[in-house]
Amino acid sequence: MTAVLAAQGLIKSFGDLIAVNGVSFEIAEGETFGLLGPNGAGKTTSISMVAGLLEPDNGTVHVAGTQIRTNSTNGRSDIGLVPQEIAIYPDLTATENLRFFGRLYDMPGETLDKRVEEVLEVIGLSERQDDLVSEFSGGMQRRLNIGIGLLHRPRLLILDEPTVGVDPQSRNAILESVEDLSGEGIAVLYTTHYMEEAERLCDRVAIIDEGVIKAEGTRRELVSLVGEKDRIRVTVTGDLVEVARVASELPAVHEASPADSGVDVLANDASSVLPELLSRVAATGANVTGVAVSEPNLEAVFLHLTGKALRD
């Protein structure tokens, strides 16, 4: 698949502080790519360079084949930016905000009118389109913030921590709308320090800390990279020692041990090992009353890679 975004060797310093040091990644069409890291990790600096707001000290950014520079407008129409702060005008209505930014992207009259209506529908603000934004709730403002980024149909949408300070209901609505974007073929660059969001939304994740990408890949690749296993709790009645023994004979099982009213199994890939495991347990005459699978998460990966928690 063609890369919509290609960031190569990005370096940016502020005085003695190296904020970003050699960051490289690519995002394909329809792919959602997450930059996961704690506050101050270099996420916002990285996306500022991608969006052409900051000139890198070194490295290049190409969007749809065009190099992005701070002193050039080339390629800007292919980028949609949703800043971390709510970047809208409170004393304008929702429609006025959308129209103003649409005109900056040279959207012609009828196209703009139609697109404004579509976006208002997508973000659920059609009925409040003529109200001043200052009268909106925080969640509604967040949705409009995203809507402006989508308005001109960018090929790359950059979302910088779009759910910070949002109530759970609005947060879920935002995440759902982001999930829909990949279906529309938009490449999404999503920065967050919420592990759950990265796991839910992103096809691939780069873990960034102190300006450096520590690891990159799918969730599964990242987890396997650091040797973390899936944990399967099989609740059974019968000979627990025998159940543990037969379970441990499976090649994908790393460890199996009796526990309270069941057996704990550590395996490389729970979904692939589970059918065979249950079959063997049943063969011992034990009665399986429940199965619970807990996969290792990115929080654990981050801890493993950096020695600190995401929210440190």
Chain residues that interact with another protein, rule: CB under 8 A: 48, 51-53, 55, 70-71, 73, 76-77, 79, 81, 83-89, 91-92, 96, 100-101, 103-106, 148
Residue 290 Cβ vs another protein, minimum distance, rounded to whole Å: 49
**By C-beta, is 49 or 120 nearer to another protein?**
49
* Smallest distance from another protein to CB 45, Å: 13
Task: Tell me how far, at minimum, the Cβ of 152 lies from another protein, in Å.
Answer: 9
Minimal distance in Å, beta carbon 74 to another protein?
8
Beta carbon nearer to another protein, 42 or 296: 42
d(CA 188, CA 190): 6
Do residues 194 and 163 touch, judged by C-beta distance below 8 A? Answer: yes
Per-position DSSP letters for 124-179, written without gaps between them: T-GGGTTSBGGGS-HHHHHHHHHHHHHTT--SEEEEESTTTT--HHHHHHHHHHHH
DSSP letters spanning 77-143: GGEEEE-SS--S-TTSBHHHHHHHHHHHTT--HHHHHHHHHHHHHHTT-GGGTTSBGGGS-HHHHHH
Q: What would the two tokens of residue 97 be?
A: 């905000």
Output 158 or 263, the one with its CB closest to another protein.
158
- In the complex, minimum distance from the CB of residue 51 to another protein, in angstroms, rounded to a whole number: 5
Q: Smallest distance, Å, CB 188 to another protein?
A: 16
Cβ density class 41-77: b for 16+ within 10 Å, e for less: bbbbbbbbbbbbebebeebebbbbeeebeeeeeebbb
Residue closer to another protein (CB basis): 26 or 78: 78
Q: Least distance (Å) from another protein to the CB of residue 25? A: 19
Residue number, 66 or 248, with CB nearest to another protein: 66
Nearer to another protein, 106 or 260 (CB): 106
For residues 125 and 76, give the distance between their C-alpha atoms in angstroms, rounded to a whole number.
Answer: 26
- Minimum CB distance to another protein smaller for 76 or for 214: 76
Q: What is the enclosing helix (H) or strand (E) of 245?
A: helix 240-248
Query: 28 near 3, Cβ under 8 Å?
Result: yes
Nearer to another protein, 81 or 273 (CB): 81
Task: From residue 303, give the alpha-carbon distance in Å to each of 190, 208, 272, 273, 299.
Answer: 20, 12, 26, 26, 6
Least separation in angstroms between residue 52's CB and another protein is 6
| Beta-carbon contacts of residue 263 (< 8 Å; ≥ 6 apart) | 233, 234, 236, 240, 243, 244, 247, 256, 257, 281
Tell me if 77 sits within 8 A of 104, measured CB to CB: no
